[in-house]
Amino acid sequence: MPFEPVKFIVIALLYYAAGMVGLSPELVAQRRVSADTHAVSQPRMFSAPSGEIHYTRLQRCQLEVTPVPDSLVADVMRRCLMHFSSDRVAPTDLPLLLRLALIAHDDSLVEAVIARQLRNLHTTSDQENAGIYGNAISAAYEVVPRRLDLVERYLKIVNTRWPGATRVRFDILWGRLVEELQSCTDTTLVTGDQILAGLQLLQTIAQSSGSEPSNSESAGLMEQVAGLKNFFTPFATFLNEGPEAGIHQLAALSNGSVVGKQMLPVTGQFRFASDSSVTTESVHEHPSLIILAAPGWGINPAKDGETKDACLGTEGFVRMLQRRFPTLSVTVVEPVVGVSWQTGELMTLQEESDFERNWLFNELKIRGTLLIDTVAYATLPGHDRRRIPGLSETQVRLFAGNLLNRNDEWAYRLKMFLVDASGRIVLDPSDMFSWHRLATSVVNRVISKTH
């Protein structure tokens, strides 16, 4: 029988019409999309070669609040979660549902999710049951704003119902201490007594796990406590008793520590001041923050009305310190490499200097002094003859003075020194990028010592 294209097309259309007749638009959509997974157009920020990505319905709730202002996130999330119940989602989706419920401030849904997770365990193990609340506490720290009220409530539940869950209780208290010292949104200063009290709680729990030599968990926790006390006790002494009492303990934290040493002079071929109130003659007239930065330091330009600067990289943290401590002098030393870090185009010394000055003062909005440092170049032999940038003059001087470590990769990218009015290095904030609140408290102690 000869092939008849027209007849074939007519029959195919009839079959298609017969399959779709009587179906509402909603049922047609259900044929195309599975019950629990939606194929949605890929947002630009998630672009992929296929142009599509598959999200579960619960994951789409998370996507809906991405472009929403913070003040509206809870309301939008609450409306989205109206279609979900803790008893009807898959067990693997419960951690995500818990986090979204925290964002929505739907405490009843949070409690329902935890209750189902406990029922699903089918165990009497203190560690595993308490671990459910431990995970909830971790999620409460991660959402914005943090649910510190739930942290305290769940910690009391764990201590009361599962006192034998030593590891979980220890991790919860350690997480709480870390949150207190790292917080970039808490503007209150931490005290040395707070640090010591947190360490004492950790030690008490570690000791409660048993003192028998064969108890590996107890031995491991006590070893961890010893390491934490070794690191944080010098900061507690520094905050409680002042720099003179704590600086020697801080210097002993590591063999290569520069704390307590005199800062060597930093120089540059060009000096720029952000405004007329900034002096470029000396960086040691007041407590100073000296920053050795690679070209292009700072990816988070300042925004008007920004209230979370401390959470936006090191440059945001510096802006926050300057607003909080107006007498803190900031000096940034940047090398010139002859190439724009934005476009890759060749630049003269003057062009690159002007570009870096505009970036630091007008885009990053950092006040202070900019020193443009020169870099020594090596030329490859033979026919290649390419120039390879080496160390800047400041780096060479600080390496020679043992204020920089050649094995430290940050020595070539970003290094910071907190220097008191006498020129002595009090802190290397480069090692404390994430300890925002603790570093802020140390800066406050140094500045208050000079007044």
pLDDT digits (tens, 9 = 90+) for 343-355: 778 888 888 888 8
Residue 91 has pLDDT above 80, yes or no: yes
Neighbours of 370 (CB within 10 A): 26
In which band, very low, low, confident or very high, does the pLDDT at 312 lie, cut at 50, 70 and 90? confident
Model confidence at 157: pLDDT above 90: yes
pTM for the model stands at: 0.72
The pLDDT tens digits for 264-295 are 888 888 888 888 766 555 455 578 899 888 87
Based on the fold, state whether residues 333 and 416 are members of the same structural domain: yes
Opening angle at CA 225, ends 222 and 226, nearest 5: 90
Whether 249 and 379 map to the same domain: the answer is: no
**pLDDT for residue 191 is more than 90:** yes
Same domain, 279 and 230: no
Q: Do 220 and 304 share a domain, yes or no?
A: no
Q: Which structural domain range is residue 213 located in?
A: 165-257
Q: What is the mean pLDDT of residues 416-430?
A: 83
Mean residue pLDDT of the chain comes to 77
Q: Specify whether 416 is located in the same domain as 328.
A: yes
Residue 245 scores a pLDDT above 50: yes
Residues 338-367: what's their mean pLDDT?
85
| CA-to-CA separations, 444 to 47, 189, 242, in angstroms, rounded | 45, 8, 11
Residue 315 to residues 25, 64, 220, 303, 330: CA-CA distances in angstroms? Answer: 53, 30, 38, 12, 12
Residue 15: per-residue pLDDT: 46
More confident residue, 30 or 254: 254
What angle do the packed helices 94-103 and 107-121 form, to 10 degrees?
A: 160
Residue 24 has pLDDT above 60, yes or no: no
Nearest one of 7, 427, 11 to 258, comparing CA atoms? 427
Q: Is residue 25 part of a domain?
A: no
How high is the pLDDT of residue 113?
A: 94
Whether 82 and 90 have beta carbons less than 8 Å apart is answered as no
- At 209 the pLDDT is 67
**How many structural domains does the chain have?**
3
Give dist(CA 111, CA 121) in Å, integer: 16
Main-chain dihedrals φ then ψ at residue 424, nearest 5 degrees: -90, 135
Q: Do 156 and 176 sit in the same domain of this protein? A: no
Q: Per-residue confidence at 115, pLDDT binned at 50, 70, 90?
A: very high
Q: Which helix (H) or strand (E) holds 171?
A: helix 166-182
What is the Rg, in whole angstroms, of the alpha carbon atoms belonging to the chain?
Answer: 29
Q: Quick one: 232 and 356 in the same domain?
A: no
Higher pLDDT, residue 103 or 255: 103
